[in-house]
Amino acid sequence: MSDVLFVSMPFGPVFTPSIGLSLLQAQLHRAGVPSDVRYFSIRFAERLGSRVYTAISQSDGVPIVNLAGEWIFSRELNAAASGSGYIEEVIGPRSPWGVRNRGSRRWRDTRDRIVRARAFVAPFLDWCVDQVAAASPRIVGLTSSFQQHAASLVLAKRLKAALPDVRIVIGGANCEGVMGAETIRQFPFVDAAVSGEADTIIVDLVTRLLDGRSIDDVPGVRTQATVGRDFAAGRFATAPMVTDMDALPYPDYTAYARQFRASPLSRRWRPSMLFESSRGCWWGEKAHCTFCGLNGSTMTFRSKPSDRVLAELRHLATRYPRSDIQVVDNILEMRYFGDLLPELARNRLKIELFYETKANLKKDQIRLLRDAGVTRIQPGIESFSDPVLALMRKGVTWLQNVQLLKWCKQFGVSPYWNVLWGFPGEPAAEYERMARLVPALTHLPAPVGGAAIRLDRFSPNFDQADRLGFARIRPIAPYAHIFTGVPGDAIGNLAYYFQFDHADGRDIQDYVLPLKQQIARWKRVHRRSELVSIRQRDRLVIVDLRPGATTKATVLVGADRALYEACDGIAHVHRLASLAGADADGGDSAVIARLQPLVDRGLLVTDGQRYLALAIPLEEYRPPAAMRARIRQVLRRLVVVRQSVRAAKEQQSWPRRSPRRKRQQRRRPRSGSPRSGGARSA
């Protein structure tokens, strides 16, 4: 028996534990408070089917803005909600999702499964209540992030009816600020909501509840008694942030590992364990990306010491040897390049890590990430337009984004990235330019996709919507079908995702379509596209296997080779002119003219002043076997052509006899006929 039972409801991830609940359980364990964690999400995934569950929870085929996971449980919040409006407007054939997937059998199957899933909810909730009752906890803690809010609320409603003495506390990303306050105000069966990081208050909060004392003054906690005061003041304080990351315990994943092993899902799937080395975002502290709603009130960047990170990774790798480890940090701590990553490279823990990074990494840093086992990154590329990147406050240029993709491919680091559009004030002409650029990039890792931006709570775009060019802000359509019967202004407080109009009335579809088409093509062809450079003595051979390439092999020698190799990383024309020296009497303009043919053929890209070579040097890159065979074939053909050209030149340049020599030969007696016959020396 445990005094505290933490619960993860659908549609929380099934193949990873909740790092938040696992940390809170570890905190309570330190304080001697018995607790347990139940992953009811696993049971629902078994019933629904892992493919459809994952499609909903991880937006793998079902857009997250459909909020299908929330809608499936919404009828239990309000029995009068029929669901027909949601089906027609959000997932039906005439919905944006339906129009995009018209004729797709997978879309129809997923849509039908979403609708049928509602029938599973009532018996599933009965089972959940029985499980909680059997555990006899005094406190139930519910985590709510992304699409867990409706399921968590309906379980709270059922529990309060069946076990009225149990205190129910909810927390997580969906409870930060006004969202948690509105949750308390609209749903009286929830006793308290925690806003922000609960690590610093969890022991005090739980011990007070167990002792029967008031929790009204616990920082960051909303209760039925205090929520009115918060709305009257218009201030929604959060719990104090963790300032010493080293003081946190290791997350306790024992309960998750036990429950997943007992599930039929474990026969086909291997779970991943979550790990954090930092919180907040050091770039967001300097220049908050305008579209980013992560962190909310906890933007301040804090990181663990490198020795602590290494020890914790060793612990996870040893404790859960068959599991991947996923890092949940919002951004990679840059000082780890000086200590942690070299240490990971030396220790070879045989784990592969994922990190979010900025896109302005250097070549040696990408190489070090690979050596340290960081084989997957999310670099936040978002665009190949400097004006659009400036509107995002990304702090990088489009050439840096291309450079990162090139080096990721070279060193075997897989980048996960998207293209975003629809920012107020973005130049339409930039999308035409990007559409023309993409065919030169098809050998580089393709984006996951492209999409118009949405408005997320806590983002600068949301907080400064009028100033930044957004108009008519309102919650996205699914919320009205999920929180049926809740007043409109309250729905606005519960929502995290919003839709908008552009203040200038623009229709972005008019100018983004060519880029969307090029991105779709990129995703189709990138696995059979290649562009590499090979050093051969005094020349550089560029093999071009991109779709549409008219010249499969280009040979550069002398100054042309030197200039191209100098552009392996972004190079300014001034530096290139200095490198060319006497060969560039015209200075910058001469270098620009010399490089223009390579730009025209898509072997170089330029912003007018800086250049980047797109071919990947073969010395530190190993293409797939099929590509290696094609490259060898091009090189063999090149050798044959060169031999043919050399033979032709030798034939043309055969030394002719002088007139005097010819006259002497005429006077010399010949054997055989004087006019015909007789052998000539070749």
The label of the residue with tokens 């053929």 reads: 601
Pairing outcome for strands 497-502 and 455-456: antiparallel
112 domain residue, yes or no: yes
For 10-68, write each residue's pLDDT tens digit: 999 999 999 999 999 999 999 999 999 999 999 999 999 999 999 999 888 899 999 99
Among 563, 590, 620, identify where a domain stops: 620
Check residue 398 and give its pLDDT.
98
Helix H or strand E segment including 222 = strand 221-223
Alpha helices (runs of H) in 537-585, residue ranges in sequence order = 558-566, 573-580
As given in the structure block, the two tokens for residue 510 are 């008019």
Give me the chain's average pLDDT, please: 92
Contact 607, 403 (CB under 8 A): no
Check residue 1 and give its pLDDT.
73
Mean pLDDT of 213-228: 97
Q: CA dist 76 to 62, 140, 153, 492, Å? A: 22, 19, 9, 21
Report the half-sphere exposure of 280 (CA within 13 A, side-chain side).
20
**Of the candidate ranges 292-301, 415-424, 602-611, the one whose mean pLDDT is the lowest:** 292-301
363 domain residue, yes or no: yes
659 domain residue, yes or no: no
* CB neighbour class for 550 (10 Å; exposed up to 12, middle 13-18, buried from 19): exposed
Question: Are 203 and 214 in the same domain?
Answer: yes
638 domain residue, yes or no: no
pLDDT bracket for residue 219 (50, 70, 90): very high
Question: Are 604 and 544 in the same domain?
Answer: yes
Which residues on neighbouring strands pair with residue 193, listed in sequence order? 170, 222
Share of the chain above pLDDT 90, in %: 86
CATH number at residue 285: 3.20.20.70
Check residue 647 and give its pLDDT.
67
Among 246, 280, 307, identify where a domain stops: 246
Among candidates 161, 231, 166, which has minimal Cα distance to 192?
A: 166
CATH number at residue 579: 1.10.10
Domain extent, residue 406, equals 270-469+504-528
Mean pLDDT of 199-215: 98
Question: Are 413 and 290 in the same domain?
Answer: yes
Check residue 661 and give its pLDDT.
46
668 domain residue, yes or no: no
487 domain residue, yes or no: no
The backbone torsions φ and ψ at residue 558, rounded to the nearest 5 degrees and listed phi first, read 60, -135
As given in the structure block, the two tokens for residue 609 are 């002043």
The answer to whether residue 662 scores a pLDDT higher than 70 is: no
Check residue 83 and give its pLDDT.
83
Mean pLDDT of 290-308: 93
d(CA 152, CA 495): 15
Model pTM score: 0.91
253 domain residue, yes or no: no
Question: Are 171 and 239 in the same domain?
Answer: yes
Mean pLDDT of 127-153: 97
pLDDT bracket for residue 585 (50, 70, 90): low
Helix H or strand E segment including 4 = strand 4-8
Check residue 666 and give its pLDDT.
47
Question: Are 219 and 276 in the same domain?
Answer: no
pLDDT bracket for residue 71 (50, 70, 90): very high
Question: Are 524 and 389 in the same domain?
Answer: yes
pLDDT bracket for residue 583 (50, 70, 90): low
As given in the structure block, the two tokens for residue 403 are 């450079």
Among 199, 214, 246, identify where a domain stops: 246
CATH number at residue 43: 3.40.50.280
Question: Are 522 and 559 in the same domain?
Answer: no
The answer to whether residue 672 scores a pLDDT higher than 70 is: no
Question: Are 219 and 306 in the same domain?
Answer: no
The answer to whether residue 663 scores a pLDDT higher than 70 is: no
Instruction: Quickly count: other Cβ atoms within 10 Å of residue 285's Cβ.
Output: 12
Which residues on neighbouring strands pair with residue 542, listed in sequence order? 533, 554
Render 110-164 in DSSP notation, one character per residue: HHHHHHHHHHHHHHHHHHHHHHHHHH--SEEEEE--STTHHHHHHHHHHHHHH-T
Question: Are 43 and 72 in the same domain?
Answer: yes
pLDDT bracket for residue 682 (50, 70, 90): very low
Instruction: Quickly count: other Cβ atoms within 10 Å of residue 525's Cβ.
Output: 16
d(CA 249, CA 247): 6
Among candidates 495, 485, 486, which has minimal Cα distance to 185?
A: 486
Residue 450, classed as helix, strand or coil, is: strand
d(CA 182, CA 228): 10
Mean pLDDT of 357-382: 96
523 domain residue, yes or no: yes
The total number of structural domains in the chain stands at 3
- The set of long-range contacts for 182-187, using a CB threshold of 8 Å and a minimum separation of 24, is 182/490, 182/493, 182/494, 183/149, 183/153, 183/222, 183/494, 184/222, 184/223, 184/224, 184/227, 185/227, 185/228, 185/231, 185/490, 186/483, 186/486, 186/490, 186/494, 187/77, 187/153, 187/156, 187/157
Check residue 675 and give its pLDDT.
35
Question: Are 574 and 455 in the same domain?
Answer: no
Question: Are 151 and 194 in the same domain?
Answer: yes
The answer to whether residue 625 scores a pLDDT higher than 60 is: yes
Check residue 204 and give its pLDDT.
98
As given in the structure block, the two tokens for residue 297 are 């009130």
For 518-568, write each residue's pLDDT tens digit: 999 999 999 999 999 999 999 999 999 999 898 999 999 999 999 999 999
Question: Are 112 and 213 in the same domain?
Answer: yes
For 629-658, write each residue's pLDDT tens digit: 999 999 999 888 776 766 666 666 545 554
The answer to whether residue 681 scores a pLDDT higher than 60 is: no
The backbone torsions φ and ψ at residue 356, rounded to the nearest 5 degrees and listed phi first, read -90, 140
